Amino acid sequence: MTDDELADRVRALLGGSVSCSVSYGTVTADVPRERWVEAASAVRDTLGMVFFDLLTAVDVLEDGFDVVVRLWAPADRHGLLLRTRCPRDDARVASLTSVFAGAAWHERQVWEMFDIDVDGHPGLTPLLLPPGFEGHPMRKEFVLAARVAKAWPGAKDPGESDSDLATGRPRRRLQPPGVPRPGSRP
């Protein structure tokens, strides 16, 4: 089955409120948040997407968060990304643990790192961060304090080229978002 054929099958299965795209050999289906569990169940049962690989989130700033699950059909050897969007002011999705038991760990990680509530999860408890940690480090507004306190240890900052260093001009130190520039007034 080609990627375009898989996209057509997903569209037919999930209906008009779902859009599908094919990019870089990957089929992505965008589903409304209220159909998240229904869509995951349908592609598992009908298209054989029985292998749960990954669930994560992407911070798309003012647009909110994209929650993405990657599934695979071992028998037919094709994969699918299911994606839903939740707004920043109502960051929540329904749990997929009733569809894929392996989603539990991933949903805890999304809850802890992005502060996206997972409705119906059997036990949202801290997973990766130390006790007392404040904030959600995968959100783009989270300030990486380590980069402020300690300079980048390499010869070049990320994104800097050898030609930048060859000019002999001192490089300007960049501050993470949210950190005031030295000498600036509040």
Q: Both tokens of residue 27?
A: 């089929």
pLDDT of residue 146: 65
pLDDT of residue 17: 83
CA dihedral 14, 8, 32, 116 (to 10 degrees): 110
Helix (H) or strand (E) holding 117: strand 117-119
pLDDT of residue 149: 63
Query: What gap in Å lies between CA 139 and CA 156, rounded to an integer?
Result: 25
Q: What is the mean pLDDT of residues 25-40?
A: 96
Taken in order of first residue, the domains within the chain and their CATH numbers are 3-119 (3.30.460.80), 143-179 (no CATH)
Exposure string of 33-72, with b = 16+ CB inside 10 Å and e = fewer, is eebbbebbebbbeebebeebeebbbebeeeebbbbbbbbb
pLDDT of residue 166: 66
Q: What is the mean pLDDT of residues 89-116?
A: 97
Residue 82 · residue 68 · CB < 8 Å = yes
Query: What gap in Å lies between CA 27 and CA 104, rounded to an integer?
Result: 24
pLDDT higher than 80, residue 102 = yes
**Which spans in 83-141 are helix H?**
103-114
pLDDT of residue 170: 54
pLDDT of residue 42: 96
Residue 121 · residue 106 · CB < 8 Å = no
pLDDT, tens digit (0-9, with 9 covering 90-100), for 113-162: 999 999 999 999 999 999 998 899 999 888 776 656 666 566 566 556 66
pLDDT, tens digit (0-9, with 9 covering 90-100), for 42-89: 999 999 999 999 999 999 999 999 999 999 999 999 999 999 999 999
Exposure string of 2-20, with b = 16+ CB inside 10 Å and e = fewer, is ebeebbebbeeebeeebeb
Chain mean pLDDT for the chain: 87
